[in-house]
Amino acid sequence: MAIRKLAHVTVIVWDQDEALDWYTRVLGFRKVDDRTDPTHEYRWLTVAPEGQEELEIVLHKAQNEREEGRIGRNAMWGFEADDCRKTFQELTERGVIFTSPPEELPWGIAAGFRDLYGNPFELVEPR
């Protein structure tokens, strides 16, 4: 048995519709999957950047107090961009709150931002 690939990552959210709106309207992602299991009262909702086929982000509604405590506390993920400075400007105009402006680093140009729940992300233009 071997792990083949990373299939999805999960962001715990207060409201799935609010999160879906933010990730699609503000970041420009696309909705990939949206299924509800009425038996378990669970909604499987995923998004991904345009053109990304392999990895999906699950927008998971907090189901209990423990999960609520994890909202806004995900590990930092990096999103690759062709032009970090241009994307920084576009996302700033859409209301994204950046924690650091584009900066020249040994591996490329990077800027930090947070989603509507405070989860940290990095926008990276690789060298």
1-63 carries CATH number 2.60.40.10? no
Q: How confident is the model at residue 1 (pLDDT cuts 50, 70, 90)?
A: low
- The third-level CATH classification (topology) of the domain covering 72-127 is 2,3-Dihydroxybiphenyl 1,2-Dioxygenase; domain 1 (3.10.180)
Residue scoring higher pLDDT (40 or 93): 93
CA distance 60 to 83: 30
**Nearest partner of 77 among 35, 34, 115, judged by Cα:** 115
Q: Which part of the chain is CATH 3.10.180.10?
A: 1-63, 72-127
pTM of the model: 0.89
In this prediction, what percent of the chain has a pLDDT beyond 90? 83
* Whether pLDDT at 36 is above 70: yes
